Amino acid sequence: MNFFNIRLCFLAIVFCVSCSAEKETRSIPVEDFFKNPEKTAFSISPDGEYISYLQPYHDRLNIFVQTTDGKNVVRLTSDTSQNIAYYFWANNKEILYLRNAGNDSDLGLFAVKKDGTDNRKLIEYQNSKIGLITPKAYNNNILVSLNMRDSTVFDAYRMNITTGKLSLLVRNPGNITEFYADSSGELRLALTSDGVDETLIYRETEKDDFRPVVKNNFKTSINFLGFSKDSCIYILTNKNRDKKALVELNCNTGKEHQELYSNPQVDVSEGSYSRSKNKMVFAGYESWKKERHYLDNDTRDMYERLEELLPDTEIKITDQDSSESKFIIRTFTDRNPGTYYLYNIEDNQLKKLGDINSSIKQNEMAPMKPVSYKSRDGLTINGYLTLPLNMPEKNLPVVVLPHGGPSFRNSWGYNSEVQFLANRGYAVFQMNFRGSTGYGKSFWIAGFKEWGGKIQNDITDGVKWLISKEIADPKRIAIYGASFGGFSALHGLCFNSELYACGASYSGLTNLFTYLKGIPPYYKPYQQMYFEMVGDPEKDADYFRDTSPIFHTDKIKVPVLIAQGTKDPRVNVNETNQFVKELKKRKMPVTYILKENERHFFKKPENRIEFYQQLEKFLDGNLNKN
């Protein structure tokens, strides 16, 4: 009896302990953050009757098809050697797919019927790359670009999807980089490039010759969105303006017909084109998060209805049938990787298709807050701060996470890396330093030749701002990044060593000379562009040497973690080895994760998991000392 009581007490204590522990943040296993989704790449058939998706079969992604009610699941492919890289509905009956290009053998374009029969190879060409101009068939034809004739040049072909017969459509004189077809499958637009300057060329019909429409420098951009009427096209461009705008361009005159939308703060980042309406239905822009400016009332109504059905979450349409009545919708927030739904506009009904990552519980994720600060020269830098749950917003250990690129931006939304770090108790600080995209041309160009200069100052200023706000514990700040972010991390450790307790670089650039050497010299204009963006390795040799971390290993005074794939085409593994060797010679603690056969980013799941486990251990050992 007595013994029984004691056991009851013990159970009560255990229960209490576990109760209180639940108020703490649960440490979610690394695997849960970085696992691949079960079902991905949802697509809907043009008639809206079938849903297709990729799902692992014997550890390889294969195509599955089901009816919209979720029944009659059929596996179309049985590939046990490679993943299916991409697929699309060519028509209501057939799906075309590409196998993963990671392995060199047995590439090509394949077709299969939606019941899994008649699986056949359409294009078998071992050493060529296949570009898809129209991910949709018109009259049983699709348009592809292939480099059969010359490995450096892609010609456009029209291919019969039943027979696989190719007919040359445009012989590329060597400078065409993109082909665009109109909504009837006619190839009428192309982009030529000499590597730096681009020219849009247009023809009224396939029988005419291409004429140049508009020319622009690499500093401005033209993104084709869709054909309008009267020889007009919809484009996103920042030609003659700082922020990208949604513009209708007259291809006959080369003049802007009208500006549909522009935002004074940020670039317009996307435009949604409706094939059925033959017009733009909204312009998307990204302030602190992605937003829409509607250009069509029906679309506005639909999104408003969707927002009622799915409150407190962001919505994105990923696919739709040809009548635009059934949609595949993806939701997401900063704390939720999201879910795929099927939406039927007629009965306003949603049907859940699958979670991106069902292991992630929204209430265990940390909110991502937009922040902004002033750089030392007065520029406003926007960023995001993700604070760990259940911790006071004071004196926190911080992981500074500069993004790669640098022509890239951090966006608001679910980020498994950020959430992983926040779950381990670190505040995660991301910033869109100058040179980031999305904030206009001049902000982007401000980062030119400043890779080791003002860009790094912007990062440093951000960290100092975070310290002045007393959010960061100045003794517990780490800097971690991948690619250019890794360069920034190593640069920070070399030149702002007093700021950081440790740093980690994942495929980080260590040497700007090497980065530029990667640009083939036969592409002179291209090389010139990089010389303008990064610097001229001969004329700016001093600047390169002064800012490349590999020349300054002696300045690193804190522990470093370096991850590197041996087949990284952008970072020379010999140099990373040399870098690590010199640190080790100076008895600096270095964690070096070198993975055979990995390229710029680790592909193998076990390598990625190992990297994050090592990163966790590394940060834990160097930031949680007190």
Partner 1 sequence: MKVQKQLYRKNFSLIITFLVLISVSLIVGLMLAYNLTVKNVENEFASKKIDVLDQTIGPYNNFFQNKIPQISFYQGFLDSGSVSKYADTLLSDFPFIERIVFYDTGISNHPIMDGIRVNNFSMGPKAVYQFALGIPKDSIVLFKNSNPNTLSLNAGDEFNKMAVKFAGFIESADTSSALSGEDVFNISYSINSKRITYMNIPRTEDLRIFKDLMFNDQALSPVYEQDLITFYLDPNKLKIRNPHPELYKNIEIKPLVYESLENTPEEISTETPLPGAFADYKLYLSSPRGFLTREINTRFLPVAISLLSIYVVLIVIAYLIFRNLNINSKMFKLQYDFINNLTHEFKTPVSVIKIAGNNIRSASQLTDKERSHYGKILDEEADKLNDMMNKLLSFTQIENRAIVLKEEQIDLEVFCQNLVDAYQIRHPNFNIHYKIDGVTKFKSDPVLLGSIFQNLIDNAFKYSSSEAKELEIAIRKLRKNIVFRFTDKGIGIPGHELVNIFKKFYRIQSQYNQQGSVGLGLAFCKELVNFMNGTITVKSKEGKGSEFRIELPYES
> Residues interacting with partner 1, by CB under 8 A?
511, 513-514, 516-518, 520-522, 524, 537-538, 541-542, 544-545, 548, 550-551, 566-567, 572, 574-575, 578, 582
φ, ψ at 451 (rounded to 5°) = -60, -40
CB-nearer residue toward partner 1: 448 or 551: 551
Q: How far is the CB of 566 from partner 1 (least distance, A)?
A: 7
Rounded to whole angstroms, how far apart are CA atoms 371 and 349? 37
The rounded Cα 510 to chain-centroid distance in angstroms is 23
Q: How far is the CB of 326 from partner 1 (least distance, A)?
A: 48
CB-nearer residue toward partner 1: 101 or 168: 101
What is the greatest pairwise CA distance in the chain?
Answer: 98
Q: Which neighbouring-strand residues pair with 211? A: 202
Q: How far is the CB of 149 from partner 1 (least distance, A)?
A: 17
CB-nearer residue toward partner 1: 62 or 507: 507
Q: Could you tell me the CA-to-CA distances from 547 to 168, 254, 345, 472, 491 in Å, in that order?
A: 49, 43, 56, 26, 7
Q: How far is the CB of 307 from partner 1 (least distance, A)?
A: 50
Rounded to whole angstroms, how far apart are CA atoms 190 and 169? 12
**Burial of 219 per CB tally in 10 Å (0-12, 13-18, 19+):** middle
CB-nearer residue toward partner 1: 430 or 548: 548
- What length is written for the chain? 626
The letter for the amino acid at 91 is N
CB-nearer residue toward partner 1: 444 or 543: 543
Q: Is 535 left (phi over 0), alpha (psi -120 to 50) or beta?
A: left
The letter for the amino acid at 480 is Y
Rounded to whole angstroms, how far apart are CA atoms 187 and 354? 37
CB-nearer residue toward partner 1: 552 or 608: 552
CB-nearer residue toward partner 1: 145 or 572: 572
Asked if residues 534 and 515 have their Cβ atoms less than 8 Å apart, the reply is yes
Q: Helices in 216-324 by DSSP H: which ranges? A: 297-309
Q: How far is the CB of 164 from partner 1 (least distance, A)?
A: 30
Q: How far is the CB of 485 from partner 1 (least distance, A)?
A: 21
Q: How far is the CB of 588 from partner 1 (least distance, A)?
A: 15
CB-nearer residue toward partner 1: 392 or 569: 569
Q: Among all chains, which residue has been given the structure tokens 């459509």?
A: 169
Rounded to whole angstroms, how far apart are CA atoms 136 and 94? 10
Q: How far is the CB of 346 from partner 1 (least distance, A)?
A: 56
